Chain A
Amino acid sequence: MTRTILLSALVLAAVSGCAPPEPTATTGTADEAATVLAVTHARIYPVSGPPIEDGTLLVRDGKILEVGSGIAVPEGAGVLDARGKSLIPGLVESHSHMGFKWLNVPAMGRNNNEFRNPVNAEVRAIDGLTSHDAAFALSLAAGVTTMNITTGSRVPNSGQAVVVKLRGGSIEDMYFAEGGMKFAIRVADERPGFPRTTEAVKELLASELRSAHAYLDAQAAAASSGAAPPPRDLTLEAFGRLLEKKMVVGVHAHGEEDMRHAIALKKEFDLDLYIHHAQGTASLVDELLEANVPVSFGPILPFMNEEDPVLEGPIRLAERGGKASFHQDHPDGHQYFLRHDAALFVRKGMPEDQALRALTVNPAALFHIEGRIGTLEPGKDADFVLLEGPPLDYESLVTHVFIEGRLVFDRARGFNVFGERVPEGW
């Protein structure tokens, strides 16, 4: 199933990758197909290195061909003159529920938490999503190109997330990668059979992981002896993939105590694990570094004040080499403000380059897709954003967004690839 979706997504990418840029900006000869797009004279923030003044970005077949200054524009290329603008990689939102809860249609949603069991590892987000949510179009106006859409946090384990690119079309068209397993160290509902303390939540998850271990052992034993394998159990199978590090775990944990439980799970089962929300980061920097646990911090605006000392957690973690990402947790935090969040950290002392990493390559790395997206380097997907000015300044609005070389948002022309009605002024 997954493989088929992936293939169809790749086909779509190949077809759409060489769509021409906006006609008004094209200066290539009319009879020659503009197979190369050149964005010129931009201040380019490749994120993999320092900003490039008067930079050129060349795109072909949906991939970045070259990036730098003094690069010759090939004959016949479509040219987008980005003088005065900033160019950054498309932003990566690591924690969203978009498409589960429809923006402006509250009665239709509320289904990101599967409450049937405390553990629902076999449940996949992609099976419950719609792309007909006005919030996707707003996300493009925010410069977000890739998004991890995760199941909810009101059950200890609500299922598997999915990473999509905001290419438009159906959720299948948007599929990009697996988003990993969702754990939630919290107690929200007094349901029969559900754990009542965070300690009990952690123990429940640990016990499922132990069962998955036994399940994998039984499968291996059956394979070597030629005996019939144990009956397939999709929950244990999914947990087994965690033990084999074939799937990442994102743990919802807010405060220090919850985060300690998450770190303990990582250590006990040697998981590929990161922590969502992570408001206790400031007091756990040593532990997070020692256990090599990245954090995705948020939602930030509108809930956090720009003077809030909690913002110092990711700054302390990043300055010591730890990996921090930011997220908005739509629909809790409004997706538009992901970029604005980063400015709050810069105000409090985070270097601009680290704040940009927390919006791009760091969240990409959580899902091991940083080889495809997150920085502007030759061979990577041509997912990029043009802004009116410095990328983290509130007053710099996003003017263009490209995904895999294709224009998906153009502020001046009022275009976005989702074709949904976007509220005025975004």
Chain B
Amino acid sequence: MKRVLFALALLPAAASFAQEQPVAIVGATILTGTGETVENGTLVFRGGKIESISAGSPAPEGASTIDGNGLFLTPGLIDAYSGFGIQGDDWDRENVLAPGRDVLERFEPQNDPLWLRSGVTTTYVAPGGENLLGGYGAVVKLTGAVVRERAALAASFGESVLGAFDAFDVPTTRQGMIGLLRQTFVRAREDSLLGEGGEAVGAVLAKEIPLHALVNTPDDILTAIRFAKEFDARLVLVSAMGGHQVAAHVAAAAVPVIVAPSIIGIGDGGPYEGFAHSPANAARLRDAGVTVALATFARGGRSVALEGVMAKAHGLSMEAALAAVTRDAAAILGVGDRLGTLEAGKDADLVLWKEQPVSTWARTQRVIVDGITRFQR
């Protein structure tokens, strides 16, 4: 509750609360995110929810109108993995296994409107990748409102863990990490892993939430799939830079992927396991039949809108690229019932674009979150 109040104070808005009168966006080219395009479309929303979408209709009686002529309308974009709003460390420096942590403990979003201006309205806030088990992540709006807390349990078994701890009682190899992870899951299954950590792993074992495995090399990806099968857990692969090399395996396991950003910094030499990083990763995975979402993996900087353009430049279709930052991202994050497409009953998270969306030159004209205009150019 505290978080919701905080969220309301976060951004100045034209109106503090979602309008009870209907608002109609009239005349826009609507890309619904379901693959459908509605020319000269009318979208009506009220009280923060979408009421209707139709072609060529006038605004309903009593509705205020937003002129959408010459503009494109899409769902608000979703950055499927970021560090948005996290203050300080995003990982537990004391415990390599920290399944009971919750990223919202460290979530204090500042009023930084740049991502919002880029058309992003929602993001999954992820714990850092340094813990073997890093705790819960959450889906939040860029206003700070929480859409879904405890949305997934973060796991990581690559270089980011191996390099993070100086202590002597932590694994020093890949096989050691998996061994410790297996022991932890076995204890959780037989109920001897107590406390919040046990609850978190228990939720994965009960398939209430997915396990988000941050891995990169093709072998680590296959290990993650093997591990999830062993415990009959729902798996989401995160980063998966080498995913394109094992795309058929990922597809066969029906595991979705939150793909590492194309536009990365390489840092101080970069991770060795990033050798397979490719801007064509999303396209190769998608071509193999994998559901993919795009993400920045960042606390700031370029937005996921540009990731969509890069993925398109390297092989995703326009529809697939848009879906990877809207519908498919929402589905992978478990919030597809509320977000990701423009359909009656869903949240009125809307972006009006001056130029063709998912293009180099696409700039937002207006960004609406929960029915409230948060940015207008």
- A residues neighboring B (CB under 8 Å): 101-110, 135, 299, 301-308, 330-334, 336-337, 340, 343, 346-347, 392-397, 423-426
CA A409 – CA B144 in complex, angstroms?
46
Q: Which residues of B contact A394 (CB under 8 A)?
A: 306, 309-310, 312-313, 359-360
B279 contacts A by Cβ under 8 Å: yes
B265 to chain A, nearest CB (A): 6
User: B118 contacts A305, CB within 8 Å?
Assistant: yes
B269 to chain A, nearest CB (A): 3
CB B75 to nearest CB in A, in angstroms, measures: 19
Check B263–A340 contact: CB distance below 8 A: yes
| CA A332 to CA B118, docked complex, whole Å | 23
Output the residue of A303, A331, A336, A423 with the most chain B CB within 10 A. Answer: A423
Residue among A306, A393, A423 making CB contact with B303, cutoff 8 Å: A306
Chain A residues lying within 8 Å of B298, measured Cβ to Cβ, are: 302
Alpha-carbon distance between A346 and B361 when the two chains are bound, in angstroms? 8
B374 within 8 A of A: no
The answer, yes or no, to whether B264 is at the interface (CB within 8 Å) is yes
Query: Can you name 9 extra interface pairs (CB under 8 A) apart from A302-B302, A303-B265?
Result: A303-B302, A305-B118, A331-B268, A334-B266, A395-B312, A423-B276, A424-B280, A425-B280, A425-B284
* Residue in chain A with minimal CB distance to B312: A395
Chain A neighbourhood of B114, CB < 8 A: 305, 307-308
Any A CB within 8 A of the CB of B314: yes
Interface assignment of B267: CB less than 8 Å from any CB of chain A: yes
A397 to B262, CA, bound (A): 14
B312 — which chain A residues lie within 8 A by C-beta? 394-395
Give A422's nearest chain B residue, CB to CB. B278
Residue of A nearest to B302 (CB): A302
- Across the interface, name the chain B residue whose C-beta is closest to A329: B265
Neighbour of B272 across the interface among A104, A336, A343, CB < 8 A: A104
Known contacts A103-B266, A302-B296, A425-B284; is A393 also within 8 Å of B360 by CB? yes
**Known contacts being A306-B303, A392-B360, A423-B276, is A331 close to B118, with CB within 8 Å?**
no
Complexed CA–CA distance, A426 and B284 (Å): 13
How far is it, in angstroms, between the C-alpha of A135 and the C-alpha of B309 when the chains are bound? Answer: 23
- Contact (Cβ within 8 A) A301 B263: yes
> In the bound complex, do residue B244 and residue A424 qualify as a contact, i.e. CB atoms below 8 Å apart?
yes
The interface residues of chain A lying within 8 Å CB-to-CB of B267 are 331-332
Q: How far is the CB of B216 from chain A (nearest CB, A)?
A: 12
Q: In the complex, A41 Cα to B306 Cα: how many Å?
A: 31
Task: List the 4 closest pairs (A to B, CB-CB), nearest first.
Answer: A106-B269, A425-B280, A425-B278, A331-B266
On chain A, the residues within 8 Å of B272 by CB distance are 104-106
Q: Which residues of A contact B117 (CB under 8 A)?
A: 305, 307
Q: Are B261 and A302 in contact (CB under 8 A)?
A: yes
- Give residues of chain B (240-271) contacting chain A, Cβ–Cβ below 8 Å: 244-245, 261, 263-271
Task: Say yes or no: A301-B276 contact (C-beta < 8 A), given A101-B268, A110-B269, A347-B363.
Answer: no
* A340 cross-chain contacts in B, Cβ below 8 A: 263, 306, 310
Q: Would you give the shortest CB distance from B185 to chain A, in whole angstroms? A: 31
Q: How large is the interface on B (under 10, 10 to 19, 20 to 34, 35 or more residues)?
A: 35 or more
B-side contacts of A330, CB under 8 Å: 266
Contact partner of B263 (CB less than 8 A), chosen from A107, A334, A426, is A334
Contacts of A424 in B (CB 8 A): 244-245, 276, 278, 280, 284
**Does the CB pair B361–A347 fall under 8 Å?**
yes
Partner pick for B279 among A305, A331, A426, CB 8 A cutoff = A426
B85 CB to nearest A CB, Å: 15
List 7 interface pairs A-B (beta carbons < 8 Å), by A numbering. A106-B269, A109-B269, A301-B263, A332-B266, A347-B361, A394-B306, A423-B278
Min Cβ gap B67→A in Å is 23
Q: Is B231 an interface residue (CB 8 A)?
A: no
Whether B269 and A102, one on each chain, are in contact in the complex, defined by CB atoms closer than 8 angstroms, is: yes
CB-based nearest A residue for B273: A104
A263 to chain B, nearest CB (A): 28
* Contact between chains at A103 and B270 (CB < 8 Å): yes
Chain A nearest CB, measured from B319 CB (Å)? 15
From known contacts A392-B360, A393-B360, infer whether A306 and B118 are also in contact, taking CB-CB under 8 Å: yes
Alpha-carbon gap, A424 to B276, bound state (A)? 7
Decide yes or no: A104 and B275 within 8 Å by CB, A305-B301, A331-B266, A334-B265 being known contacts: yes
B292 nearest CB across to chain A (Å): 14
Complex Cα distance A343/B313, Å? 14
Please measure, in the bound complex, the distance between the C-alpha atom of A109 and the C-alpha atom of B266, giving whole angstroms.
13
Please judge, given known A-B contacts A302-B298, A308-B114, whether A337 and B263 are in contact too, CB under 8 Å: yes
Q: Which residue of A lies closest to B364 (CB)?
A: A307
Establish whether residues B265 and A299, one from each chain, have CB atoms under 8 Å apart when the complex forms: yes
Q: In the assembled complex, how far is the CB of residue A240 from the closest CB belonging to chain B, in whole angstroms?
A: 34
Closest B residue to A98 by CB, please name it.
B266
Task: Name the interface residues of B293-313: CB closer than 8 Å to any CB of A.
Answer: 296, 298, 300-303, 305-306, 309-310, 312-313
Closest residue of chain A to B297 (Cβ to Cβ) is: A302
CB pair A425 B268 closer than 8 Å: no
A-side contacts of B315, CB under 8 Å: 425
**Min C-beta distance of B224 to chain A, whole Å:** 20
Asked if B286 lies at the interface with its beta carbon under 8 angstroms from chain A, I say no
Q: Could you tell me the distance between the alpha carbons of A110 and B305 in the complex, rounded to whole angstroms?
A: 33
Say how far A231's CB is from chain B's closest CB, in angstroms. 39
Cα(A104)–Cα(B266), bound, Å: 9
Report B-chain residues with C-beta under 8 Å of the C-beta of A299: 265
A301 touching B309 in the complex, CB below 8 Å, given contacts A331-B266, A395-B359:
no
In the complex, per-residue mask of B217-253: 1 if CB is within 8 Å of any chain A CB, else 0: 0000000000000000000000000001100000000
In the complex, are the beta carbons of A425 and B279 less than 8 A apart? yes
**Contact assessment for B360 and A343 in the assembled complex, using a CB-CB cutoff below 8 Å:** yes
What residues on A are CB-neighbors of B118 within 8 Å? 305-307
How far apart sit A333 and B186, CA to CA, in the bound complex (Å)?
A: 42
> What A residues does B310 contact at CB under 8 A?
340, 394
A331→B268 CA distance, assembly (Å): 7
Residues on A with C-beta less than 8 A from B269 are: 101-110, 331
Residue in A closest to B355 when the chains form the complex, CB atoms: A347
Q: Name the one of B301, B305, B360 contacting A395, with C-beta atoms under 8 angstroms.
A: B360
